[in-house]
Amino acid sequence: MALGAESVEEWSKLPEGMTVHLWGALAVPRNAFLQPMAVVERLDDHRAEVRVRAQERQQLVGEAGRDLSEDELKAYVDHLEKTFNPATCPTCNLFEYCRGQIRSMSDPVALLTEIGIPPEQRPALSMVAAGEAETADVPDSTIGAVVATRDGQAVWTGQRRTDPVGLPGTVFLVPAKSDAAALGCYGIGVRRVDSVKDTPSWELSIFEDGQSMSTRLAIMELLGRVVAEAMADQAAANPTAPGPVQVVLPDTASGDLLVSMADSLAGTEISRLRWQRDLEVGRPPLTFDGEPATVPEALTEHQRLAVSFLLDRDRGRAMVLRESFVDLRAVLRRHVVPGGVLNDAGRLDYIVAWAEAADPLDHRAVSDAVASELHTPGRATLQHRLGQDPPVLAGFTSQAGRNTSGGLQGTDPRRTRVQGGHRRPGRSGTGKFASLAAARGVSGHRGRCTAGVEATHGLPRL
């Protein structure tokens, strides 16, 4: 912001009468109530720093008396320590350049630097990266990552399974989270594992307004209904000791989103109960600020069940044997060590790509492919990447009624949106792109989640 303001101030073609404002909006963080709050700050100090940096560069050029050649520039920076960290450097403008320089090197230390091995471990692992050793005095997981990168094939740990993924009572859930809101969700997919019948197909839903209260209620209604069905199935399979019901998620962020939604709805429900009591005794319902309150509708049975289930997860975080959520990414990480950048191993789709591979992989190609996928965080709602592909909505259904034909019946998929869980013919505008983004985002996560489950089928259980 300050660099741009100073550049415009010194612009030779600045229109006459136009001036640069002394204040600027530096960020838009969110407060404790998840409400947008613009932070405006005077730019004097920041612009002064920009001028000092520019003067330093002008002084160096003035001392040389001419523009520096490439060889002189190289000599000027040769004494600086070359550092590269794939976990922290992506925020730098030179990240792709530095990564390209590292990738162009052929020595084992450069490979270890590229995938994010700490500097203190690189001497011990250089022989492993060169293929001249298989062991080193470092953790086995780190050795496995280097071996997988070198050979192009994932390293399996050999551990037996203790997770409930794929067993009756598990509910698979994948959301398409919004990048612009803490509690935003544009779509959701749910599938339950039955103890008797075949596993039902994915039930997918999209929402026009990912940040609205109606969307959160629709998500709780869907989750509550599926949890109720899973509880009934477990009770029918074993009436004396029903098995647990657990939700399988692609990552922990998805669970945090659902718990935050439940916490918000629980607070609203508590306020509703207080206001309802006020009405019963003849008092006007008021907010804490003394303003007249609008009494919301009560949670339905399924919504209340989902909120209670999610809040129990929040309370049981400190209890090892009380897990309502199963992180599918963590389950796979216990059994497979992928190659490539260590930081990329925190993505489910990246781990699945290595776990499914039958032939050796190029870790660089895998990392680049995963980063360019549409459902990668930060890309799902970009309109210029969405296109106008109608089949993307196939299989999505409204909350009001199920659609078993594989698409939205009676409407053009290009012109259909879901608001608050109910299907509605759409209008032109950003809602169409949000629907496409949600559909593709949920479909991508659904495919990775399914593939992750299939990757664990051959692993023995305890």
More confident residue, 405 or 365: 365
pTM of the entire predicted model: 0.69
Specify whether the CB–CB gap between 154 and 360 falls below 8 A. Answer: no
Single out the residue of 440, 397, 393, 441 nearest to residue 422, CA to CA: 397
**Dihedral, CA of residue 391, residue 397, residue 401 and residue 404, to nearest 10:** 50
The end-to-end CA distance of the chain, in Å, is 57
233-262: per-residue pLDDT in tens? 999 999 999 988 999 998 888 888 999 999
Binning pLDDT at 50, 70 and 90, where does residue 2 land? confident
CA distance 328 to 347: 10
Residue pLDDT, tens place only, 150-199: 999 999 988 888 888 888 989 999 988 876 677 888 889 999 988 877 76
Q: What is the mean pLDDT of the chain?
A: 78
C-alpha–C-alpha distance, residues 295 and 8, integer Å:
51
- 366, pLDDT greater than 80: yes
pLDDT bin (cut points 50, 70, 90) of residue 132 is: confident
**Higher confidence at residue 462 or residue 15?**
15
pLDDT, one tens digit per residue, over 78-122 is 766 668 888 888 888 888 888 888 898 888 989 999 999 998 998
Report how far residue 103's alpha carbon sits from residue 113's, in angstroms, rounded to the nearest whole number: 10
